[in-house]
Structure 1
Amino acid sequence: MKIKSLAVAAVIATAMSAPTMAADWFIGGGVGAQQNTYKGSSQANVDPGYNAQNFKETENNEFYEVRVGAYLNDNNRVYSTYNYNSDDFTRQQSLMLSYDYLVGLGASNKLNWFIGASAGVNHISPDTDELSSKNRFVWGGQTGLMYKINDKLSTEIGYRYLKQDYDVSETYPVPAPTNNIGWTDQASLQDSQQLYLSVDYRF
Protein backbone atom coordinates (compact mmCIF):
# COMPACT_ATOMS: atom_id res chain seq x y z
CA MET A 1 0.00 0.00 0.00
CA LYS A 2 2.87 2.40 0.75
CA ILE A 3 4.39 1.84 -2.69
CA LYS A 4 1.01 2.48 -4.33
CA SER A 5 0.50 5.70 -2.36
CA LEU A 6 3.99 6.98 -3.18
CA ALA A 7 3.55 6.27 -6.89
CA VAL A 8 0.23 8.11 -6.99
CA ALA A 9 1.56 11.07 -5.01
CA ALA A 10 4.64 11.43 -7.23
CA VAL A 11 2.63 11.34 -10.45
CA ILE A 12 0.00 13.81 -9.21
CA ALA A 13 2.54 16.26 -7.79
CA THR A 14 4.50 16.33 -11.03
CA ALA A 15 1.35 16.71 -13.14
CA MET A 16 0.20 19.68 -11.09
CA SER A 17 3.47 21.47 -11.80
CA ALA A 18 3.22 20.95 -15.59
CA PRO A 19 1.33 24.17 -16.48
CA THR A 20 4.00 26.40 -14.91
CA MET A 21 7.09 24.41 -15.95
CA ALA A 22 6.22 23.04 -19.38
CA ALA A 23 8.60 23.87 -22.22
CA ASP A 24 7.53 21.46 -24.97
CA TRP A 25 4.08 19.94 -25.34
CA PHE A 26 3.67 16.75 -27.32
CA ILE A 27 1.04 14.40 -28.70
CA GLY A 28 1.62 10.85 -29.82
CA GLY A 29 0.42 7.30 -30.24
CA GLY A 30 1.68 3.78 -30.04
CA VAL A 31 0.99 0.09 -30.50
CA GLY A 32 2.30 -2.93 -28.70
CA ALA A 33 1.71 -6.32 -27.10
CA GLN A 34 -0.08 -6.73 -23.78
CA GLN A 35 -0.03 -9.79 -21.52
CA ASN A 36 -2.85 -10.15 -18.98
CA THR A 37 -2.79 -12.68 -16.13
CA TYR A 38 -6.18 -13.94 -14.91
CA LYS A 39 -7.18 -16.15 -11.99
CA GLY A 40 -10.61 -17.57 -11.24
CA SER A 41 -12.76 -20.36 -9.90
CA SER A 42 -16.17 -21.97 -10.23
CA GLN A 43 -17.72 -23.33 -7.03
CA ALA A 44 -20.93 -25.32 -6.67
CA ASN A 45 -22.64 -24.30 -3.43
CA VAL A 46 -23.39 -27.85 -2.30
CA ASP A 47 -21.17 -28.51 0.70
CA PRO A 48 -17.88 -27.15 2.09
CA GLY A 49 -15.99 -30.23 0.92
CA TYR A 50 -16.72 -29.69 -2.77
CA ASN A 51 -13.57 -28.92 -4.74
CA ALA A 52 -13.75 -25.69 -6.74
CA GLN A 53 -12.61 -25.63 -10.35
CA ASN A 54 -9.69 -23.19 -10.39
CA PHE A 55 -7.89 -21.71 -13.35
CA LYS A 56 -5.00 -19.40 -14.14
CA GLU A 57 -4.73 -18.03 -17.67
CA THR A 58 -2.35 -15.74 -19.51
CA GLU A 59 -3.64 -13.85 -22.54
CA ASN A 60 -1.42 -12.10 -25.11
CA ASN A 61 -2.92 -9.55 -27.49
CA GLU A 62 -2.16 -6.20 -29.08
CA PHE A 63 -3.01 -2.88 -27.47
CA TYR A 64 -3.23 0.71 -28.73
CA GLU A 65 -2.57 4.03 -27.04
CA VAL A 66 -2.76 7.76 -27.61
CA ARG A 67 -1.17 10.30 -25.29
CA VAL A 68 -0.60 13.98 -24.70
CA GLY A 69 1.84 15.63 -22.33
CA ALA A 70 4.76 17.97 -21.80
CA TYR A 71 8.52 17.89 -21.38
CA LEU A 72 9.13 20.02 -18.31
CA ASN A 73 12.83 20.14 -19.14
CA ASP A 74 15.48 17.81 -20.59
CA ASN A 75 15.06 15.32 -17.75
CA ASN A 76 11.38 15.35 -16.81
CA ARG A 77 8.12 14.74 -18.63
CA VAL A 78 4.50 14.16 -17.64
CA TYR A 79 1.68 12.85 -19.82
CA SER A 80 -1.80 11.35 -19.90
CA THR A 81 -2.45 8.14 -21.84
CA TYR A 82 -5.55 6.36 -23.13
CA ASN A 83 -5.05 2.60 -23.73
CA TYR A 84 -7.31 0.03 -25.39
CA ASN A 85 -6.83 -3.74 -25.17
CA SER A 86 -9.09 -6.71 -25.96
CA ASP A 87 -8.55 -10.44 -25.40
CA ASP A 88 -10.66 -13.60 -24.98
CA PHE A 89 -11.73 -12.62 -21.44
CA THR A 90 -12.12 -8.83 -21.30
CA ARG A 91 -11.98 -5.49 -23.06
CA GLN A 92 -9.96 -2.87 -21.21
CA GLN A 93 -9.94 0.91 -21.55
CA SER A 94 -7.61 2.81 -19.26
CA LEU A 95 -6.84 6.46 -18.62
CA MET A 96 -3.53 6.99 -16.84
CA LEU A 97 -1.29 9.81 -15.70
CA SER A 98 2.45 9.13 -15.99
CA TYR A 99 5.76 10.71 -15.05
CA ASP A 100 9.19 9.82 -16.51
CA TYR A 101 12.72 10.80 -15.63
CA LEU A 102 15.06 10.86 -18.65
CA VAL A 103 18.81 10.31 -18.75
CA GLY A 104 20.72 11.33 -21.87
CA LEU A 105 22.98 8.68 -23.35
CA GLY A 106 25.77 10.39 -25.24
CA ALA A 107 26.81 14.00 -25.81
CA SER A 108 24.07 14.72 -28.35
CA ASN A 109 21.22 13.63 -26.00
CA LYS A 110 19.40 12.14 -28.98
CA LEU A 111 19.13 8.80 -27.20
CA ASN A 112 17.58 8.83 -23.72
CA TRP A 113 16.83 6.15 -21.17
CA PHE A 114 13.66 6.79 -19.18
CA ILE A 115 12.07 5.35 -16.04
CA GLY A 116 8.85 6.42 -14.38
CA ALA A 117 5.54 5.71 -12.64
CA SER A 118 1.91 5.55 -13.81
CA ALA A 119 -1.48 5.56 -12.07
CA GLY A 120 -5.06 5.77 -13.27
CA VAL A 121 -8.40 4.08 -13.86
CA ASN A 122 -9.08 0.95 -15.91
CA HIS A 123 -12.59 0.12 -17.19
CA ILE A 124 -12.84 -3.67 -17.53
CA SER A 125 -15.67 -5.24 -19.54
CA PRO A 126 -15.75 -9.07 -19.29
CA ASP A 127 -16.73 -10.95 -22.45
CA THR A 128 -19.57 -12.69 -20.62
CA ASP A 129 -22.95 -11.54 -19.37
CA GLU A 130 -22.43 -13.39 -16.07
CA LEU A 131 -19.77 -10.93 -14.81
CA SER A 132 -20.28 -7.18 -14.64
CA SER A 133 -18.08 -4.36 -15.95
CA LYS A 134 -16.05 -2.43 -13.39
CA ASN A 135 -13.88 0.66 -13.03
CA ARG A 136 -10.73 -0.21 -11.11
CA PHE A 137 -7.56 1.54 -9.96
CA VAL A 138 -4.39 0.60 -11.87
CA TRP A 139 -0.80 1.57 -11.11
CA GLY A 140 2.73 0.61 -12.02
CA GLY A 141 5.87 1.77 -13.77
CA GLN A 142 7.63 1.92 -17.12
CA THR A 143 11.10 2.08 -18.59
CA GLY A 144 12.61 2.18 -22.06
CA LEU A 145 14.61 4.10 -24.64
CA MET A 146 13.56 7.29 -26.43
CA TYR A 147 15.27 8.56 -29.59
CA LYS A 148 14.94 12.13 -30.92
CA ILE A 149 14.60 11.95 -34.71
CA ASN A 150 14.62 15.75 -34.97
CA ASP A 151 13.36 18.76 -32.99
CA LYS A 152 9.72 17.77 -33.61
CA LEU A 153 9.65 13.97 -33.82
CA SER A 154 10.77 11.27 -31.40
CA THR A 155 10.18 7.56 -31.10
CA GLU A 156 10.55 5.15 -28.23
CA ILE A 157 10.35 1.52 -27.24
CA GLY A 158 9.21 0.80 -23.71
CA TYR A 159 8.10 -1.77 -21.18
CA ARG A 160 5.28 -1.07 -18.71
CA TYR A 161 4.13 -3.15 -15.74
CA LEU A 162 0.65 -2.49 -14.34
CA LYS A 163 -0.79 -3.90 -11.13
CA GLN A 164 -4.50 -4.47 -11.61
CA ASP A 165 -7.25 -4.32 -8.98
CA TYR A 166 -10.10 -6.24 -10.64
CA ASP A 167 -11.83 -8.92 -8.58
CA VAL A 168 -15.46 -9.89 -9.14
CA SER A 169 -17.75 -12.77 -8.20
CA GLU A 170 -21.33 -13.70 -9.04
CA THR A 171 -23.65 -16.29 -7.45
CA TYR A 172 -26.42 -17.95 -9.45
CA PRO A 173 -29.33 -19.84 -7.87
CA VAL A 174 -30.36 -23.19 -9.30
CA PRO A 175 -34.11 -23.97 -9.23
CA ALA A 176 -35.55 -27.06 -7.50
CA PRO A 177 -35.68 -30.03 -7.50
CA THR A 178 -31.83 -30.23 -7.64
CA ASN A 179 -29.74 -30.52 -4.49
CA ASN A 180 -27.43 -27.77 -5.72
CA ILE A 181 -28.38 -24.49 -4.02
CA GLY A 182 -26.36 -22.36 -6.42
CA TRP A 183 -23.12 -21.72 -8.25
CA THR A 184 -20.48 -19.03 -7.69
CA ASP A 185 -18.05 -17.78 -10.35
CA GLN A 186 -15.06 -15.67 -9.31
CA ALA A 187 -12.51 -13.95 -11.56
CA SER A 188 -9.62 -11.55 -11.04
CA LEU A 189 -7.14 -9.74 -13.25
CA GLN A 190 -3.80 -9.86 -11.42
CA ASP A 191 -1.53 -7.72 -13.59
CA SER A 192 -0.70 -6.60 -17.12
CA GLN A 193 2.61 -6.21 -18.93
CA GLN A 194 3.05 -4.08 -22.04
CA LEU A 195 5.81 -3.86 -24.62
CA TYR A 196 5.21 -0.93 -26.96
CA LEU A 197 6.55 1.27 -29.75
CA SER A 198 5.36 4.86 -29.99
CA VAL A 199 5.93 8.08 -31.95
CA ASP A 200 5.51 11.61 -30.51
CA TYR A 201 5.22 15.03 -32.13
CA ARG A 202 6.38 18.11 -30.20
CA PHE A 203 4.83 21.54 -30.68
Structure 2
Amino acid sequence: MKTLQTLAIATSLSLVTLGANAADNFAGLTWGKSTSNIDRSSTLKQNMAGPNRFDDVIKNSGTWGVRAGQMTDEARYYATYENVSDDYGNGLKLRQQNLIGSYDVFLPVGDSTRLFGGASAGLTKLENESSGYSRDSDIGYLVGLQAGVLQRVSDNASVEAGYRYLRSNAGTEVAERGVGKVGSIDLHSTGQAYLGVNYHF
Protein backbone atom coordinates (compact mmCIF):
# COMPACT_ATOMS: atom_id res chain seq x y z
CA MET A 1 0.00 0.00 0.00
CA LYS A 2 2.82 2.40 0.85
CA THR A 3 4.39 1.70 -2.55
CA LEU A 4 1.21 2.58 -4.44
CA GLN A 5 0.65 5.70 -2.35
CA THR A 6 4.23 6.86 -3.02
CA LEU A 7 3.78 6.25 -6.74
CA ALA A 8 0.48 8.13 -6.69
CA ILE A 9 2.02 11.18 -5.02
CA ALA A 10 5.03 11.20 -7.34
CA THR A 11 2.91 10.81 -10.47
CA SER A 12 0.48 13.50 -9.36
CA LEU A 13 3.28 15.97 -8.64
CA SER A 14 4.83 15.23 -12.03
CA LEU A 15 1.57 15.90 -13.84
CA VAL A 16 1.04 19.15 -11.97
CA THR A 17 4.43 20.48 -13.06
CA LEU A 18 4.20 19.41 -16.71
CA GLY A 19 3.58 21.88 -19.49
CA ALA A 20 4.01 25.60 -19.11
CA ASN A 21 1.26 26.31 -21.66
CA ALA A 22 -1.57 24.42 -19.91
CA ALA A 23 -4.66 26.47 -19.08
CA ASP A 24 -4.65 25.42 -15.43
CA ASN A 25 -3.61 22.75 -12.99
CA PHE A 26 -6.09 21.04 -10.70
CA ALA A 27 -6.19 18.70 -7.72
CA GLY A 28 -9.23 17.05 -6.22
CA LEU A 29 -11.00 14.37 -4.24
CA THR A 30 -13.48 11.73 -5.38
CA TRP A 31 -15.99 9.56 -3.54
CA GLY A 32 -18.10 6.83 -5.08
CA LYS A 33 -19.39 3.28 -5.08
CA SER A 34 -17.51 0.39 -6.68
CA THR A 35 -18.58 -3.12 -7.64
CA SER A 36 -15.93 -5.66 -8.63
CA ASN A 37 -16.45 -8.84 -10.64
CA ILE A 38 -14.29 -11.67 -9.27
CA ASP A 39 -13.60 -14.89 -11.21
CA ARG A 40 -12.84 -18.08 -9.27
CA SER A 41 -10.47 -20.81 -10.45
CA SER A 42 -11.94 -24.23 -11.20
CA THR A 43 -10.24 -25.60 -8.07
CA LEU A 44 -11.80 -22.93 -5.88
CA LYS A 45 -15.23 -23.61 -7.40
CA GLN A 46 -14.87 -27.25 -6.34
CA ASN A 47 -13.63 -26.43 -2.83
CA MET A 48 -16.02 -23.52 -2.29
CA ALA A 49 -19.20 -24.76 -3.91
CA GLY A 50 -22.26 -22.58 -4.40
CA PRO A 51 -22.61 -18.96 -5.46
CA ASN A 52 -19.51 -16.85 -5.99
CA ARG A 53 -19.40 -15.11 -2.61
CA PHE A 54 -16.27 -13.18 -3.62
CA ASP A 55 -18.49 -11.23 -6.04
CA ASP A 56 -20.38 -9.85 -3.03
CA VAL A 57 -17.33 -8.51 -1.16
CA ILE A 58 -16.70 -5.28 -3.10
CA LYS A 59 -20.28 -4.55 -4.10
CA ASN A 60 -21.57 -0.96 -3.99
CA SER A 61 -18.62 -0.31 -1.66
CA GLY A 62 -17.46 3.18 -0.69
CA THR A 63 -14.40 4.25 -2.68
CA TRP A 64 -12.27 7.34 -2.11
CA GLY A 65 -9.65 8.83 -4.37
CA VAL A 66 -7.21 11.72 -4.81
CA ARG A 67 -6.21 13.14 -8.17
CA ALA A 68 -4.14 15.84 -9.84
CA GLY A 69 -3.54 16.93 -13.41
CA GLN A 70 -3.91 19.63 -16.02
CA MET A 71 -6.94 20.93 -17.88
CA THR A 72 -7.62 23.06 -20.97
CA ASP A 73 -10.93 24.08 -22.52
CA GLU A 74 -10.78 21.03 -24.80
CA ALA A 75 -9.37 18.21 -22.64
CA ARG A 76 -7.62 17.16 -19.45
CA TYR A 77 -5.14 14.54 -18.28
CA TYR A 78 -4.65 13.46 -14.68
CA ALA A 79 -3.47 10.78 -12.27
CA THR A 80 -5.74 9.21 -9.65
CA TYR A 81 -5.11 7.03 -6.61
CA GLU A 82 -8.17 5.09 -5.38
CA ASN A 83 -8.79 2.79 -2.43
CA VAL A 84 -11.75 0.50 -1.72
CA SER A 85 -12.01 -2.16 0.99
CA ASP A 86 -15.01 -4.18 2.13
CA ASP A 87 -16.00 -7.51 3.61
CA TYR A 88 -18.75 -10.08 3.30
CA GLY A 89 -20.75 -11.53 6.17
CA ASN A 90 -18.88 -14.84 6.20
CA GLY A 91 -15.47 -13.25 6.83
CA LEU A 92 -14.33 -12.70 3.25
CA LYS A 93 -12.53 -9.36 2.86
CA LEU A 94 -10.83 -7.76 -0.16
CA ARG A 95 -8.98 -4.50 -0.71
CA GLN A 96 -8.42 -2.92 -4.12
CA GLN A 97 -6.07 -0.02 -4.82
CA ASN A 98 -5.81 1.68 -8.21
CA LEU A 99 -3.18 4.00 -9.67
CA ILE A 100 -4.68 5.38 -12.86
CA GLY A 101 -3.61 7.74 -15.63
CA SER A 102 -6.58 9.20 -17.53
CA TYR A 103 -7.29 11.43 -20.52
CA ASP A 104 -10.70 13.06 -21.15
CA VAL A 105 -12.08 15.09 -24.04
CA PHE A 106 -14.66 17.81 -23.28
CA LEU A 107 -17.92 18.62 -25.05
CA PRO A 108 -19.23 22.04 -23.90
CA VAL A 109 -22.98 22.23 -23.28
CA GLY A 110 -23.00 25.72 -21.75
CA ASP A 111 -20.72 28.44 -20.46
CA SER A 112 -19.66 26.44 -17.41
CA THR A 113 -20.84 22.86 -18.11
CA ARG A 114 -18.93 20.19 -20.03
CA LEU A 115 -19.62 16.57 -20.83
CA PHE A 116 -16.50 14.42 -20.83
CA GLY A 117 -15.41 11.03 -22.07
CA GLY A 118 -12.05 9.35 -22.10
CA ALA A 119 -9.78 6.40 -21.46
CA SER A 120 -7.71 5.21 -18.50
CA ALA A 121 -4.80 2.84 -17.93
CA GLY A 122 -2.69 1.96 -14.93
CA LEU A 123 -2.08 -0.54 -12.16
CA THR A 124 -4.31 -2.19 -9.59
CA LYS A 125 -3.40 -4.04 -6.41
CA LEU A 126 -5.78 -6.73 -5.12
CA GLU A 127 -5.35 -7.95 -1.54
CA ASN A 128 -7.11 -10.92 0.04
CA GLU A 129 -7.53 -10.08 3.74
CA SER A 130 -10.21 -12.68 4.52
CA SER A 131 -10.51 -14.04 8.04
CA GLY A 132 -9.21 -17.61 8.36
CA TYR A 133 -7.19 -17.36 5.13
CA SER A 134 -3.56 -16.48 4.51
CA ARG A 135 -3.10 -12.93 3.27
CA ASP A 136 -2.04 -12.58 -0.35
CA SER A 137 -1.79 -9.75 -2.87
CA ASP A 138 -1.03 -9.16 -6.52
CA ILE A 139 -0.46 -6.15 -8.79
CA GLY A 140 -1.86 -6.21 -12.32
CA TYR A 141 -2.72 -3.85 -15.12
CA LEU A 142 -6.03 -2.08 -15.66
CA VAL A 143 -7.56 -0.37 -18.69
CA GLY A 144 -10.94 1.29 -19.02
CA LEU A 145 -13.25 4.06 -20.09
CA GLN A 146 -15.04 6.86 -18.24
CA ALA A 147 -17.71 9.45 -18.97
CA GLY A 148 -19.59 12.11 -17.04
CA VAL A 149 -20.33 15.79 -16.59
CA LEU A 150 -18.16 18.56 -15.12
CA GLN A 151 -19.59 21.81 -13.76
CA ARG A 152 -17.38 24.84 -13.12
CA VAL A 153 -18.72 26.61 -10.02
CA SER A 154 -16.08 29.35 -9.74
CA ASP A 155 -12.70 30.36 -11.17
CA ASN A 156 -11.01 28.01 -8.74
CA ALA A 157 -13.48 25.16 -8.26
CA SER A 158 -15.46 22.56 -10.19
CA VAL A 159 -17.59 19.54 -9.35
CA GLU A 160 -18.25 16.45 -11.43
CA ALA A 161 -20.17 13.20 -11.60
CA GLY A 162 -19.03 10.23 -13.64
CA TYR A 163 -18.93 6.51 -14.26
CA ARG A 164 -15.80 4.43 -14.92
CA TYR A 165 -15.48 0.84 -16.15
CA LEU A 166 -12.12 -0.92 -15.72
CA ARG A 167 -10.78 -4.32 -16.82
CA SER A 168 -7.92 -5.94 -14.91
CA ASN A 169 -5.82 -9.10 -14.56
CA ALA A 170 -4.81 -8.95 -10.86
CA GLY A 171 -5.39 -12.11 -8.82
CA THR A 172 -4.58 -13.72 -5.47
CA GLU A 173 -4.37 -17.19 -4.00
CA VAL A 174 -6.96 -18.43 -1.52
CA ALA A 175 -5.29 -20.56 1.16
CA GLU A 176 -6.99 -21.62 4.38
CA ARG A 177 -4.78 -21.46 7.44
CA GLY A 178 -3.81 -24.98 8.47
CA VAL A 179 -5.20 -26.45 5.23
CA GLY A 180 -3.29 -24.88 2.36
CA LYS A 181 -4.23 -23.50 -1.02
CA VAL A 182 -7.84 -24.14 -2.03
CA GLY A 183 -7.81 -22.11 -5.25
CA SER A 184 -7.36 -18.60 -6.58
CA ILE A 185 -9.38 -15.55 -7.58
CA ASP A 186 -8.93 -13.04 -10.41
CA LEU A 187 -10.20 -9.47 -10.58
CA HIS A 188 -12.04 -9.37 -13.90
CA SER A 189 -13.62 -5.91 -13.94
CA THR A 190 -14.75 -3.00 -11.77
CA GLY A 191 -17.59 -0.54 -12.30
CA GLN A 192 -17.60 2.71 -10.38
CA ALA A 193 -19.99 5.67 -10.07
CA TYR A 194 -18.41 8.67 -8.40
CA LEU A 195 -18.66 12.34 -7.45
CA GLY A 196 -15.66 14.64 -7.43
CA VAL A 197 -14.60 18.12 -6.36
CA ASN A 198 -11.61 19.89 -7.94
CA TYR A 199 -9.55 22.92 -6.99
CA HIS A 200 -7.98 24.82 -9.92
CA PHE A 201 -4.76 26.81 -9.61
TM range (shorter): 0.7 to 0.9
Residues 131-166 of structure 1: CA distance to partner in whole angstroms, max 9, x if unpaired?
Answer: 521111111010000001011110000000011212
Residue 145 of structure 2 aligns with an amino acid whose one-letter code is: G
For 1:145 and 1:101, the matched residues in 2 are separated by: 11
Whether the 8 Å contact between 1:97 and 1:120 is mirrored in structure 2 is yes
Whether the 8 Å contact between 1:42 and 1:183 is mirrored in structure 2 is no
Alignment partner, residue 153 of structure 2: 149
Further displaced range: 143-152 or 57-66: 57-66
Unaligned runs of 5+ in 1: 1-14, 45-49, 176-181
CA apart distance, 1:94: 1.3
Residues 143-196 of structure 1: CA distance to partner in whole angstroms, max 9, x if unpaired?
Answer: 000001011110000000011212334678x99xxxxxx763121111111111
Unaligned runs of 5+ in 2: 1-14, 88-92
Residue 136 of structure 1 aligns with an amino acid whose one-letter code is: G
Aligned length: 173
For 1:63 and 1:143, the matched residues in 2 are separated by: 17
Bigger CA radius of gyration = 1
Alignment partner, residue 62 of structure 1: 62
Alignment partner, residue 92 of structure 1: 96
For 2:140 and 2:29, the matched residues in 1 are separated by: 23
Further displaced range: 27-36 or 130-139: 130-139
Residues 51 and 62 of structure 1, relative CA distance in 2, 3 Å threshold: closer
Alignment partner, residue 198 of structure 2: 200
1:138 aligns with 2:142: yes
SS of the equivalent of 2:60 reads strand
User: Percent same amino acid at aligned positions?
Assistant: 31
Whether the 8 Å contact between 2:76 and 2:105 is mirrored in structure 1 is yes
SS of the equivalent of 1:133 reads strand
CA apart distance, 1:121: 0.9
Show structure 1 runs of 4+ deviating over 4 A: none
Alignment partner, residue 114 of structure 1: 116
